[in-house]
Copies of this chain bind each other. A is one copy, B any other.
Amino acid sequence: MYRSHTCGELRLAHVNNEVTLAGWVQKTRDKGFMVWVDLRDRYGITQLIFDEERTPAHIFEKAGELGREFVIQVTGKVIERESKNKNIPTGEVEILVSGLTILNSANLPPFTIEDETDGGEDIRMKYRYLDIRRTPVKNSLMFRHKVAMEVRNYLSEKEFIEVETPYLIKSTPEGARDFVVPSRMNEGEFYALPQSPQTFKQLLMVGGMDKYFQIVKCFRDEDLRADRQPEFTQIDCEMAFVEQEDILNVFEGLTRHLLQAIKGVEVDQFPRMTFDEAMRRYGNDKPDIRFGMEFGELNEVAQHKDFNVFNNAELVVGIAVPCGASYTRKEIDELINWVKRPQVGALGMVYVKYNEDGSYKSSVDKFYDAEDFEKWAEITGATPGDLICVLSGNKNKVRTQLSALRMELAERLGLRNSDEFAPLWVVDFPLLEWDEETGRYHAMHHPFTSPKPEDLNLLETNPGKVRANAYDLVLNGNEIGGGSIRIHDKELQSKMFSLLGFTKEQAQAQFGFLMNAFQYGAPPHGGLAFGFDRLVAILGGQETIRDFIAFPKNNAGRDVMIDAPSPIDDEQLEELHIKLDLK
């Protein structure tokens, strides 16, 4: 036994006990006749005291050799501290050390192992094993475990069965790019790593499993955007004999349970909003509804005056910025420049100060009068003291731009409070989206999503208008889950593949196993997948997802600590019958 107690365990009640602790030296203070050491393990920190008078001489001497992050084992008596530390649970006691073993020495760490560290991200990733010793990172990993346990226990109690689906599957060039894995046993052939267990969970429904879930790694061989990982974790769920309403209820229940169990937050029934409404009110299919600043469409009241910018625009839309009327000219110019940045892409911005005294001052005073602005204020919900920001142009573009501005302002105004949780369902997504580049329709969700029955007749005549039985779960401006009712009819599935530009042969080659399965009695079914990394990060307080992953990869897809990926040797290549062909 290396220890009788952990470093987070001892209290006043243990005074006079002989104990053995083991852990890392957090820091030492040497006053010559006395040495204090903070000993740290996963469970906490306990103060050790080496006293020239009371500690055996050879032990006292060794105490002087201890450096940061040395691994030691000590025995001693628990005594009451003279100056108590109220900040830590063990702060009322210390250990008067009588025995010391150095279990391992340590080089000076390349950054300080403290809550606030001096190490930049690169160095912390390279020495991730040291980073994990820091309380915030350690707590993030423990938090992730706790969320996973809550998910599993909740779903298990609701009769969901966790079924492991395979990682070595068949490559299907649908959606993002697959990672492929050459097979030695079957030469010239490749497995793929799953982008999601989508088809397998559907097969489980055909197999009568009824309620399935899995917390599972998925893989996408894509150029990484910031805070995306080539391997990511999903809570994958599927149910049979359900309609959309059943699924929303079950997973609203799960989400509510998590908020309650993990954060102690009680949330009312989640609002539901159609995709169209979300776009109209927030310019965004994953609106953050913790705050207002809803869009006001101004076409009717701002067009047909002499301002041609608006007259020629498909959409004129504004938001009211709380207390923005007090912004200086310089501040407003900065906002205008912000929306004109290439990442946002607006051509300009019209503003109206709705002053506290009820007067208006705007950049378009030439074209509009107070009566006009009164209508603008009414539509955007502005009250005296607010600033109305207005963008115009192509409907889709301008919504995206104004949504970006809305989020930016909310961030600046401190309206995105990470302790507040505002979930909602966005429903009735379009089934298809037109892709200019390829000149064909793509599945907005995936090709297994079922159209709304009432829109089925539009499939031939106006596919772009067909709405899907698809839904996203949005939390604080993030899509944390998404899913759909699936097609369970072979004919409809064939039609979908053909709409998406697959020939019959292609569809059969790639998804034949699923369509074959549909011939043998497929039940109505649907499901949802949560982005577990994102969910954990939001529940944990909006940190980047990387903080909640033990060994993350950087934006180039590299694990800098273990140097992966890396070249493999010629022998391995030869065994795989592979030649590299680098240009």
Q: Which residues of A contact B (CB under 8 A)?
A: 1-3, 22-24, 40-43, 69-71, 73, 103-107, 109, 127-133, 138, 141-142, 144-145, 148-149, 152-153, 156, 161-171, 173, 177-193, 199-200, 203-204, 206-211, 217, 219, 221, 223-224, 230-231, 233, 241-243, 246, 488-489, 513, 517-524, 549-551, 553, 556-559, 561-569, 572, 575-583
Point out the residues of chain B lying under 8 angstroms from A191, CB to CB. 179, 564-565
3 smallest A-B Cβ distances: which pairs? A132-B207, A106-B521, A170-B564
Q: Complex: how many Å from CA A173 to CA B489?
A: 47
Give the contacting residue for A190; candidates B71, B144, B567; CB below 8 A: B567
Q: Decide if B180 touches A180 in the complex (CB within 8 Å).
A: no
Q: Decide if A187 touches B550 in the complex (CB within 8 Å).
A: no
Q: Decide if B130 touches A41 in the complex (CB within 8 Å).
A: no
Point out the residues of chain B lying under 8 angstroms from A41, CB to CB. 208, 210, 241
**Majority secondary structure, A binding face:** loop
Q: Decide if B567 touches A170 in the complex (CB within 8 Å).
A: no
Q: Complex: how many Å from CA A553 to CA B168?
A: 9
Q: Decide if B149 touches A145 in the complex (CB within 8 Å).
A: no
Q: Complex: how many Å from CA A519 to CA B210?
A: 51
Q: Decide if B2 touches A241 in the complex (CB within 8 Å).
A: yes
Q: Complex: how many Å from CA A243 to CA B582?
A: 50
Contact A520 to B130, CB < 8 A, known contacts A145-B162, A190-B565: yes
Q: Decide if A165 touches B550 in the complex (CB within 8 Å).
A: yes
Q: List 23 A-B contacts (CB under 8 A).
A: A1-B246, A42-B208, A104-B518, A106-B519, A109-B520, A129-B206, A131-B207, A138-B207, A145-B161, A164-B233, A165-B550, A166-B551, A167-B193, A167-B217, A168-B179, A168-B565, A170-B563, A170-B564, A180-B576, A192-B568, A577-B581, A577-B582, A578-B578
How many copies of this chain does the complex contain?
2
Point out the residues of chain B lying under 8 angstroms from A569, CB to CB. 173
Q: Complex: how many Å from CA A519 to CA B129?
A: 11
Contacts A138-B209, A168-B559 aside, 11 further interface pairs with beta carbons under 8 A come to A2-B524, A103-B488, A103-B524, A106-B520, A166-B559, A167-B219, A169-B559, A178-B572, A217-B217, A578-B579, A579-B581
From residue A357, how far is it (CB to closest CB) to chain B in Å?
Answer: 58
From residue A394, how far is it (CB to closest CB) to chain B in Å?
Answer: 33
Q: Decide if A550 touches B200 in the complex (CB within 8 Å).
A: yes
Point out the residues of chain B lying under 8 angstroms from A128, CB to CB. 203, 207
From residue A9, how far is it (CB to closest CB) to chain B in Å?
Answer: 11
Point out the residues of chain B lying under 8 angstroms from A148, CB to CB. 162
Q: Complex: how many Å from CA A456 to CA B576?
A: 40
From residue A276, how far is it (CB to closest CB) to chain B in Å?
Answer: 27
Q: Decide if B582 touches A551 in the complex (CB within 8 Å).
A: no
Q: Complex: how many Å from CA A40 to CA B105?
A: 64
Q: Complex: how many Å from CA A165 to CA B292?
A: 40
Q: Complex: how many Å from CA A107 to CA B575?
A: 43
User: Nearest residue in B to A127 (C-beta to C-beta)?
Assistant: B520
From residue A61, how far is it (CB to closest CB) to chain B in Å?
Answer: 21
Point out the residues of chain B lying under 8 angstroms from A188, CB to CB. 567, 580, 582
Give the contacting residue for A185; candidates B2, B133, B187, B223; CB below 8 A: B223
Interface centre among A129, A141, A162, A219, by most chain B C-beta atoms within 10 angstroms, is: A129
